[in-house]
Chains A and B, each alone.
Chain A
């Protein structure tokens, strides 16, 4: 790694694979890049900014598809098994990273690469084998059309040590360029949001098999042991990470959010679901749970292996259960779980899938269109999921995402999206600043870019008055930065429900031998956030795109504890820009960019 020798934490090499020319080149990781952006999402933001400009079609060969691990990926850091997929989004046109767990990131790093940068497009389907000997391109004609399960089975049959191999692939949805297609690794883990699977499909890249078992070197082993010991202790002492998530999975949130009147229902027209007992985390546990499951290195284990009368798989987790359940008015838990299995097999983002279907359901209910898709009809919802993945009939239109779909019918008010990305499972009218988070998220509506769930609903770090807006922008910004850090370190944000920035800094310092402080991590998070903002501004986005669906601004909630409330976005947004050191149009000031070392990128 340039600028740092010996190398700890990172492995020091980046592989570039040009699918057009079928060339592979290896470059040294730049030490300054590593310490300024960490890895994962941070690397992605930097490479996208430098190499993917406004003229690049997200589904064209010039777009990059980046798979990047972080310095804690593959280490003892609890939940340190994650990686990011970064690209220009075909759903939103924004900068995009989508983060995933499982073990694929660990296997990739184990081959001796911190990241893979895929460029170009193959003229026929290919799959990549990445191992400690190098990278090879292989014909994937026989895999094209297969779902995730069959693709994974087929590829694991081809490697000599399948126990050390991990497959990341697309399903039919990615092949068909569904704008919210996911990349699925380890059969059930999704880099879900924003259409990374469609970009992979556009490159004729069916799968990447990573087979590596090297461990990253650690600079201070006893220091890491202590930092990990303290981190695991914190995870073990939090009722959220020690009991709630392990026992009920993320689905344990469903009942809480419903009780607080914050569970969007039937395309965000209601905020409480009348059949909550049928779809709760408790119901999931009692009726469908086979066993718990966990990503690599995770002591929390929020994943669920479940079984219905007709199928078996993983999930549904909170967002999927909501999107394919209450959001569509569906209360049939087995059907919801099966829709989740389908999304995993076909390679679809469950949130965008459910919310786009709900958009169509509302259009039918309001008489705007006459599709065979209705709130509460589980079978129609299941059919729609499959039709989207294969772009059949109405599914072909839904595959464009709710914004494009609703625009086609002149019904933009039915599309619950920001910058083209569908909203996740939090009713902004029932929370103080969650709506501000959705509006300002750099990849479109997203709870993973700075979630107010902790402070406004769970009391982490402390419970704040959830209907108060004043000063809340500061708290949101804090969480936006630390979320960027989690995504760049290779750790899961759920660990953040128990760990502080001190834990992260101590683990990172011990692993890399470089003295990171909590403050230096926040600055890195801010740098990543601002660079992503610069990317979007260069693409033509403006402060007008930092918006929310009109419904959330104009229509008061009609039920629940937040009855009568709307989102007063404008003053929050003005405060947010000021707190960030941006001008009134949401453009980072020269001084802010100078502070972050980004002055040459504007």
Chain B
């Protein structure tokens, strides 16, 4: 399991999707979860950076777990996710400050994500954040928290990572398009429908 965390964690950091000590990851093991250690560096994970704790109940390991464990628990308790990544994709964060949903215009983003909703929570962790994130993830595999970052889910860490990576790429394309200021020549037959996904 550590190899998978290391591989994805390193990619997240090297891709600029998390800062030195930002972000966290977890996988669900039935009534338990394995989550990255509070303050761990996703780009340099070691075996002791993976903390196993209860999905429904605390144990003493909670003192070592990421501070966002309540959000991870809420997501697992409300969705079929088996893996979660919380990352800080910069362009998507920038867009989230002015948008209520990020709707990709590039081929891959349209195809894979369709639409990424943006939810708001001033508190960066805990039950308050969990209360806005988990319900959204019942419907969408990845969502943005305004000004904060994304929560992405999957059957595997690699799948959750794909949505994060795709979201940031789509957000960059949107950013470039807006910077260029030119009107987009629409190529998608049902372009107006992505908003309804």
B-binding residues in A (CB < 8 A)? 222-223, 225-226, 229-230, 233-234, 237, 455, 461-462, 464, 470-471, 473-475, 478, 481, 500-502, 505-506, 517-520, 522, 575, 578-581
Contact call A471/B27, Cβ cutoff below 8 A: yes
Contact B155 A461 (CB under 8 A): yes
Given known A518-B80, A519-B80, A520-B138, contact A578–B154 (CB-CB < 8 A): no
Shortest beta-carbon distance, A13 to chain B, in Å? 31
The 8 A CB mask of B25-50 against A (1 = contact, 0 = none) is 00111110000000000000000000
B139 contacts the other chain (CB 8 A): yes
Whether the pair A502, B29 counts as a contact (CB closer than 8 A) is no
Contacts of B158 in A (CB 8 A): 462
Mask of B152-166 contacts with A, CB within 8 angstroms, 1/0: 001110110010000
Stretch at the interface among B60-68, B96-104, B173-181, B188-196: B188-196
- A237 in complex: contacting residue of B29, B78, B82, B111, CB < 8 Å: B111
Interface presence of B141 (CB below 8 A): yes
Q: How far is the CA of A256 from the CA of B152 in the complex (A)?
A: 32
Q: How far apart sit A225 and B79, CA to CA, in the bound complex (Å)?
A: 26
CB of A229 within 8 A of CB of B190, answer: yes
A471 lies within 8 A of B1 (CB): yes
Is B196 in contact with A474, judged by CB distance below 8 angstroms?
no
Q: Contact between A478 and B79 (Cβ–Cβ < 8 Å)? A: no
Closest to B114 in A: A230
Residues of A within 8 A of B193 (CB): 222, 226, 229
- Given A229-B189, A471-B1, A517-B138, verify A522-B80 contact (CB < 8 Å): yes
On whether A462 and B159 interact (CB within 8 A), knowing A230-B114, A517-B139, A579-B30, the answer reads yes
For residue B187, CB closer than 8 A to chain A, the reply is: no
| B156 in contact with A473 (CB, 8 Å) | no
Q: Which residue of the partner chain, among B111, B155, B189, contacts A475 with CB atoms under 8 Å?
A: B155
B153 to chain A, nearest CB (A): 10
Set of chain A residues within 8 Å of B1, measured between Cβ atoms = 470-471
Measured between beta carbons, the chain A residues less than 8 angstroms from B197 are 226, 230, 506
Q: Which residue of A lies closest to B28 (CB)?
A: A474
Please state if B29 and A478 are interface contacts (CB–CB under 8 Å).
no
CA distance A505 to B138 in the complex (A): 11
- Given the known interface contacts A234-B111, A501-B80, the answer about A474 and B138 at a Cβ–Cβ threshold of 8 Å is no
Q: Which of B31, B111, B162, B190 contacts A578 (CB 8 A)?
A: B31
Q: Please measure, in the bound complex, the distance between the C-alpha atom of A579 and the C-alpha atom of B155, giving whole angstroms.
A: 14
Tell me how many residues of B have a C-beta within 8 Å of chain A.
28
- Count of A-B contacts with CB under 8 A? 78
Question: How far in angstroms is the closest Cβ of chain A from B93?
Answer: 23
Distance in Å from the Cβ of A458 to the closest Cβ of chain B?
14
Chain B residues within 8 Å of A230, by CB: 111, 114, 197
Partner pick for A471 among B29, B79, B138, CB 8 A cutoff: B29
Contact partner of B138 (CB less than 8 A), chosen from A229, A473, A519, is A519
CB of B80 within 8 A of CB of A461, answer no
Give B residues with C-beta under 8 Å from A.
1, 27-31, 78-80, 82, 111, 114, 137-141, 154-156, 158-159, 162, 189-190, 193, 196-197
Residues of chain B contacted by A581 (CB below 8 angstroms): 30-31
Per DSSP, are chain B's interface residues mostly helix, strand or loop, or mixed?
loop
Residues A478 and B82 in contact, CB atoms below 8 Å apart: yes
Whole-angstrom CA separation of A234 from B197 in the bound complex = 15
Q: B155 near A455 (CB under 8 angstroms)?
A: yes
Instruction: Name the A residues within 8 Å of B27 (CB-CB).
Output: 471
Task: Name the one of B30, B111, B141 contacting A575, with C-beta atoms under 8 angstroms.
Answer: B30
A464 contacts B156, C-beta separation under 8 Å? yes
CA distance A470 to B79 in the complex (A): 21
A222 to B1, CA, bound (A): 44
Which residues of B lie under 8 Å from residue A471 when comparing CB positions? 1, 27, 29
Contact assessment for B111 and A462 in the assembled complex, using a CB-CB cutoff below 8 Å: no
In the complex, chain A residues whose CB is within 8 Å of the CB of B162: 462
Instruction: Choose among B139, B158, B189 the residue with the greatest number of A CB atoms under 10 Å from its CB.
Output: B139
Jot down 5 A-B pairs with beta carbons below 8 A, ordered by A: A237-B111, A461-B155, A474-B28, A579-B30, A580-B30
- List B contacts of A229 (CB < 8 A): 189-190, 193
Q: A230-B114, A237-B111 are in contact. Are A461 and B79 (CB under 8 A)?
A: no
In the complex formed, the residue of B with least CB distance to A591 is B56
Residue numbers in A under 8 Å from B29 (CB-CB): 471, 474, 575, 579
In the complex, which residues of chain A have a beta carbon less than 8 angstroms from the beta carbon of B80?
478, 481, 501, 518-519, 522
Contact among B28, B31, B138 with A518 in the assembled complex (CB-CB below 8 Å): B138
Identity of the chain A residue whose Cβ is nearest the Cβ of B30 in the assembled complex: A579
Interface centre among A229, A455, A474, A475 (most CB of B within 10 A): A474
What's the Cα separation between A474 and B137 when bound, in Å?
A: 19
CA distance in complex: A505, B31 (Å): 26
B31 contacts A579, CB within 8 Å?
yes
Q: Which residue of B lies closest to A464 (CB)?
A: B156
A517 / chain B contacts, CB cutoff of 8 Å: 138-139
Hey, which chain A residues are within 8 Å of B189, CB to CB?
229
CB nearest neighbor in B for A516: B139
Question: Chain B residues near A579 (CB, 8 Å)?
Answer: 29-31
Chain A residues with CB under 8 Å of B28's CB are: 474
Interchain CB contact under 8 A, A461 and B156: yes
Contact B30–A578 (Cβ < 8 Å): yes
Measured CA separation A579–B76 after assembly (Å): 12
Min C-beta distance of A462 to chain B, whole Å: 4
Q: Smallest Cβ distance from A592 to chain B, in angstroms?
A: 11
Complex partner residue of B82 from A475, A518, A580, CB under 8 angstroms = A475
Q: Distance in Å from the Cβ of A511 to the closest Cβ of chain B? A: 15
**Which residues of the partner chain B approach A233 to less than 8 Å between Cβ atoms?**
111
Residues A226 and B190 in contact, CB atoms below 8 Å apart: yes
Question: For B141, what are the chain A residues with a Cβ–Cβ distance below 8 Å?
Answer: 500, 502, 518
> Complex Cα distance A518/B142, Å?
13
| A227 to B30 alpha-carbon distance, docked (Å) | 32
Query: Which residues of the partner chain A approach B155 to less than 8 Å between Cβ atoms?
Result: 455, 461-462, 475, 478
Bound Cα distance from A501 to B139, whole angstroms: 10
For B137, the chain A residues whose CB sits under 8 A away are 519
